[in-house]
């Protein structure tokens, strides 16, 4: 009888240990994937409307620009550097505990200038079907010209009159780049308290 009880205790311990190991492995794999491959991000503001809406949840590709090794400040080789048009998640330069998302409009060596609602890169007017303006009275839309220094990129929100971006805090150091936005995996409308099913799975461009 005593032997049967001991076997039962050992059986319970082995089951607990097995589940514990599974949970630890799952957490480790999730942390590994988040560090080197993908990162989830929620859109908290209107700065990227209409491309991205408040309540959109998306995945970002961290491998494309090269993931950073935590605590060592070392970036592994990436597939390519950020390019104009990329929608990028990055650490906010004025508070690196906060993640931001904007569109890259220029890279190192290029000159940026805003004239009203017109964006010029190296003196060439840009076609931007994704940009929008809120027509805020007295809002100063003129900026630059400014040449982007080496190791930096210039970030702007698609909702130009409602975006704290490189026009406010300057070119973004590449060291703060986290990843490129890929697709929306969930979308919640905070006003109507409903799921935006039509946005789920949308590729972000």
| Catalytic entry in 47, 131, 163, 166 | 47
Q: How far apart are CA 39 and CA 35, in angstroms?
A: 8
47 is catalytic: yes
Q: How far apart are CA 204 and CA 134, in angstroms?
A: 22
102 is catalytic: yes
Report the 10 Å Cβ neighbour count for 165: 18
Contact 177, 136 (CB under 8 A): no
Provide the pairing of β-strand 152-156 with 99-107. antiparallel
Contact 154, 105 (CB under 8 A): yes
- Listed residue (176, 163, 202) closest to 48, CA to CA: 163
- Listed residue (35, 48, 62, 59) closest to 104, CA to CA: 48
| Catalytic entry in 62, 68, 102, 180 | 102
The verdict on whether omega for the bond into residue 196 sits within 30 degrees of 0, i.e. cis, is: no
Cα dihedral sign, 95-101-105-106? positive
> Annotated active-site positions, please?
47, 102
């Amino acid at each position: 009888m005593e032997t049967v009880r001991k076997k039962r205790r050992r059986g319970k311990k082995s089951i607990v240990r097995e589940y514990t190991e599974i949970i630890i492995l799952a957490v480790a794999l999730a942390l590994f994937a988040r560090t080197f491959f993908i990162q989830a991000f929620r859109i908290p503001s209107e700065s990227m409307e209409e491309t991205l809406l408040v309540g959109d949840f998306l995945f970002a590709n961290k491998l494309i620009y090269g993931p950073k090794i935590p605590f060592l400040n070392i970036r592994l080789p990436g597939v390519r550097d950020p390019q104009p048009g990329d929608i990028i998640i990055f650490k906010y330069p004025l508070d690196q505990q906060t993640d931001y998302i904007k569109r890259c409009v220029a890279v190192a060596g290029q000159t940026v200038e805003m004239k009203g609602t017109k964006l010029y890169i190296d003196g060439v007017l840009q076609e931007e079907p994704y940009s929008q303006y809120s027509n805020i009275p007295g809002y100063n839309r003129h900026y630059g010209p400014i040449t982007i220094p080496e190791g930096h990129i210039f970030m702007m929100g698609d909702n130009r009159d409602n975006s704290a971006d490189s026009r406010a805090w300057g070119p973004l150091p590449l060291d703060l780049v986290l990843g490129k936005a890929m697709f929306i995996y969930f979308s919640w409308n905070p006003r109507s308290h409903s799921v935006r099913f039509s946005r789920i799975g949308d590729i972000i461009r």
